[in-house]
Amino acid sequence: MQFMNISTPRHPEVIDEHIGHFTGKNHRYFLYKWKFSGWFAQWNWTAFFLGPFWLIYRKNYFWAFFFASSYLVFDFVFTSSPYFFTFSIELMILSGLFANNIYHAKLSRIQKGFIKNKTSMDSQLKILKTLGGTQWRLPAMLFPAMLLLTFVIPSLFGIHLLRSRVKRLDITSAIYAVFPPHLQWREIKLLRLDYQTAYLQGYFHKSIALNENTLKLSAWKFGPNHAYTIALQSELISNKLNMGDYQDAHRLTTELLKYYQLKFGRNHLFYIFMKNNLAANYIYQGLYSRAKTECHNCLLDLAKYTPDTDTHPVILSNLAQTYSNMGFIYQVYCQYKAAKKYHIEALAFAVKAANGYNIHTCPYLERLGDFYKEQLQIDQAETLYLQAKNIAEQALGLENALVASLLLKLGELNYLKHQFFQAEIFIRQAYMINTKYFGYNHTATAEATCQLGRILFAQGKVHQAETHLNQSLKITTNAIGQNNAVYAKYLNHMAGLYIFRNDYSTAEKTLLISLDRSAAIYGANNPRLLIPLEQLSLLYKKTNNTPARRGIVQRIQRIRQGTPPQQTPSKEIFILDPSGLMI
């Protein structure tokens, strides 16, 4: 761009008297800028620092609103970004660079109106003085309004900046570029607490935004191989799984697995933890056979590695997750002794990482409770569930995703004790919370819907039960498909209702599909196949299909001969409804 000579008028058409009446104060400054200054010399330091307040002070209402709105939008959208400071600087630069030109453009439009309307000179000067000049009342009102909206607008979306350290990161992001990162470690720890609170409360969109931006900052300042960066990557995958985005979570996991294998090797803890994320993905989808393979690989790799587990809470937390997934898989395959061992060790790692029982130990208390529930050790399970529920409610309040999961488990315990009224209260509370945090098309909502259907069926409310059970199948199909153990389990419940209605043909088809998918996931001799097999046996007994029943009974006997001495899962599922039918 060509610079103009200072002696050459830049806007010779501008009348000096017009500038004086239009600008009022500091008219000599604008006379120089508009008539003799080049393009890059139009910089306005006052506008740079004050932005929309300077524009409204000079009665440029449209551009004042534009810049004020831009600041508010940037403040809300990018509030969790470590680069928020640069966005603010860019808006300030734009304001300082173009403020004088915006002000001159307004004067030019007024002058064109004078020429078009053939306005007399006296009238021109009066109009210029009215439309120009300065005012201080509106800028003084705009500042508190913008300050208020900065905090009110985010709170409408559940983001309470006054109770969050997100803003603290905005301020210190500039400091990170100057000082070593370890000097600001406390700030990162505070931000991490906010992220974990959002994650545990079920605000997954907010927690993902915090996670992704903090991950960028951690990778930038600490490097991609730092333990904190690794932890954030694993938690990002967990967040996406909780939201139901298992496909993107799987993509991230496989990409990081390749990177970790090249960078650290297969025996490194970071690689093992990422393999555990892959196992968690398969568990979420109900693909337990694949999860079993990944958990077994993690177990073999951990056996080769002796970590210093006393020094880093990140390592302890990831070990807790790995052992918990192993315990879950052993439990799925009815290896109860190993399952109990790994669940107890997972809880011990979590307690050690958290320096006691707190909100981060609740998921491990819940899984150990699940183990006791499956063994029909109701008192032990209830004690663990209530302990986790009390911790979660004290830390997060009465309504959050973690409390919903525990309410669901307490409802199942009451169902097993035939306390259907209390069970329904717990399940309905869990259902309402899950639909609020996860939406209607999530596996957590499907589980609550299915359990509610079971309770309604046990109370003799067959039509309502059928509606809920069908809905759980539909949600599961949309969320994770039909070729998984979760869908097979819901089919078993649906088949019980068909048998009750004497719709034996539909019940048989449903059970055969469930049996086929369960065998593909668990194996042909897993005790969990007893659930659809015993229902088929009951069905064939009612239809007097003796040959078919004989084959099913023989298969049941073969499986029972290899069943461990602990309680089989079939007795958890098959309890009597008021009509005497096993469901």
Would you write out the chain's pLDDT as a tens digit for each of its 583 residues? 343 444 455 555 566 777 777 887 777 778 777 766 665 557 888 888 888 888 888 888 888 888 878 876 766 555 544 455 556 777 788 888 888 888 888 888 888 888 888 888 888 888 888 888 788 877 777 777 776 766 666 555 544 444 444 444 443 444 444 444 444 455 556 566 667 667 666 676 777 777 776 777 677 667 777 777 777 788 788 878 877 788 888 888 888 888 888 888 888 888 888 888 899 989 888 888 899 889 888 888 877 765 554 556 777 887 888 899 999 999 988 889 999 999 999 999 889 888 889 888 989 999 999 999 999 999 999 999 999 999 988 887 888 888 889 999 999 999 999 999 999 999 999 999 988 888 888 888 999 999 999 999 999 999 999 999 999 999 999 988 888 889 999 999 999 999 999 999 999 999 999 999 989 888 888 888 998 999 999 999 999 998 889 999 999 998 888 755 444 444 444 433 433 343 4
Domain 307-388 belongs to what topology? 1.25.40
CA–CA gap between residue 521 and residue 526 (Å, rounded): 9
From the list 168, 244, 231, 225, the residue with the least C-alpha distance to 442 is: 244
**C-alpha dihedral over 388, 392, 393, 398, to 10 degrees?**
-110
DSSP-assigned letter for residue 576: B
Helix (H, G, I), strand (E, B) or coil at 147: helix
Are the folds of 307-388 and 482-583 the same?
Answer: yes
Q: Which helix (H) or strand (E) holds 533?
A: helix 530-542
Residue of 452, 546, 454 whose CA lies nearest to 500: 454
**Alpha carbon distance 368, 347 (integer Å):** 8
Distance CA 248, CA 234 (A): 13
C-alpha to C-alpha distance for 408 and 163, rounded to whole angstroms: 30
> What is the distance between the alpha carbons of residues 169 and 218, in angstroms, rounded to a whole number?
12
Q: Where are the domains of the chain?
A: 16-163, 307-388, 482-583
Alpha-carbon distance of 19 to 132, in angstroms, equals: 9
Quote the CATH superfamily of domain 482-583.
Tetratricopeptide repeat domain (1.25.40.10)
pTM of the model: 0.64
> How far, CA to CA in Å, does 92 sit from each of 46, 192, 240, 295, 338?
10, 30, 36, 53, 62
